[in-house]
């Protein structure tokens, strides 16, 4: 298995632009998680899905953030409009119930 695949690896965008981060979980995993990692706040859970259904989005910072999982093999995290304080590394992880497998992350820089 190729593991959890995230794209792009790096994204630099201007303030106000829309940003879409993508994630392909491991086949057969029924949980998918989006995390954000910053020096100041560490790893924060943004949202997670079970069987493609959002279960808990209480970590989504504000309405500018949205996440979808249209099928078992794909999820997106969208930020619109983006702001400099959104700069962070965003991780996707998937699980079948025994620990998480993380992707390599997307490093987002908003200038």
Partner 1 sequence: AQSVTQPDIHITVSEGASLELRCNYSYGATPYLFWYVQSPGQGLQLLLKYFSGDTLVQGIKGFEAEFKRSQSSFNLRKPSVHWSDAAEYFCAVGDMNSGGYQKVTFGIGTKLQVIP
Binding site for partner 1 (CB under 8 A): 4, 31, 42-43, 45, 48, 50, 55-56, 91, 93, 95, 97-105
Rounded distance between C-alpha atoms, residue 56 and residue 14, angstroms: 29
Report whether 3 contacts 100 (CB < 8 A): no
Instruction: For the CB of residue 36, give the shortest distance to partner 1 in the complex, in Å.
Output: 11
64 vs 107 by CB, closer to partner 1 = 107
9 vs 85 by CB, closer to partner 1 = 9
Instruction: For the CB of residue 81, give the shortest distance to partner 1 in the complex, in Å.
Output: 27
CA distances from 77 to 55, 97, 98 (A): 15, 22, 24
Instruction: For the CB of residue 108, give the shortest distance to partner 1 in the complex, in Å.
Output: 14
Rounded distance between C-alpha atoms, residue 44 and residue 42, angstroms: 6
35 vs 65 by CB, closer to partner 1 = 35
| Cα 25 to chain centroid, rounded | 11
């Amino acid at each position: 298995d190729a593991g959890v695949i995230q794209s792009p690896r790096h994204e630099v965008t201007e303030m106000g632009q829309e940003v879409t981060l993508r994630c392909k979980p491991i086949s057969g995993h029924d949980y998918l998680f989006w995390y954000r990692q910053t020096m100041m706040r560490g790893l924060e859970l943004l949202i997670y899905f079970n069987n493609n259904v959002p279960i808990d989005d209480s970590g989504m910072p504000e309405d500018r953030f949205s996440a979808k999982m249209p099928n078992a093999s794909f999820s997106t995290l969208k930020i619109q409009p983006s702001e400099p304080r959104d700069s962070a590394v965003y991780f996707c992880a998937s699980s079948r119930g025994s620990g998480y497998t993380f992707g390599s992350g997307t490093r987002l820089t908003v200038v």
